[in-house]
Amino acid sequence: MLIFLSSFAYLCIAVMGYYRRDRFLMNPITVMFGIWAILIPLSSIYAYEVPPPSDKCLIIIFVGLMGYLLGNVFSNSKCSFAVNGHIMNQPETEYGFNYKILYVLYIPPSLCFTLMMICLLEMVKLSM
């Protein structure tokens, strides 16, 4: 039941996204929520003996899609944000990346990915 309710909710959000964005069908909200509105009911038909997603999985998908929706709505809003007295939506203001901070922030995900790949390879070796 939760599968069809969530699919209906995603379909409603996709339709609202269509009307919000100048009635253009290929906007990010309509495409993303339309795809999930199709995928979730299709996942419940036991195709290829794959079990349907659990309620916990559907909640995780819901939280992720709501984060996507909020990010999409706020990134395209017409309001301006002031940071330290600078208005962020001024077109003549250019902001650059601080690559030293980005390189430091890149270290933990790359270590985590490397450890996951090592664990995956060990699991493959054990299964052979």
Q: Locate the domains of the chain by residue range.
A: 2-78
Rounded CA-CA distance 122/118 in Å is 6
Average pLDDT over residues 28-32: 82
What per-residue confidence (pLDDT) applies to 95?
Answer: 62
Is residue 10 a contact partner of residue 40, using CB atoms and an 8 Å limit?
Answer: yes
pLDDT at 84 over 80: no
Amino acid at the residue 39: L
123 has pLDDT over 60: yes
The pLDDT of residue 97: 73
Number of Cβ within a 10 Å radius of residue 84: 4
Q: What is the pTM of this model?
A: 0.54
Interior CA angle at 114 toward 113 and 117, to 5°?
A: 85
- Report which of residues 57 and 19 the model is more confident about: 57
Tokens 């979730």 — which residue?
40
The answer on pLDDT for 82 being more than 60 is no
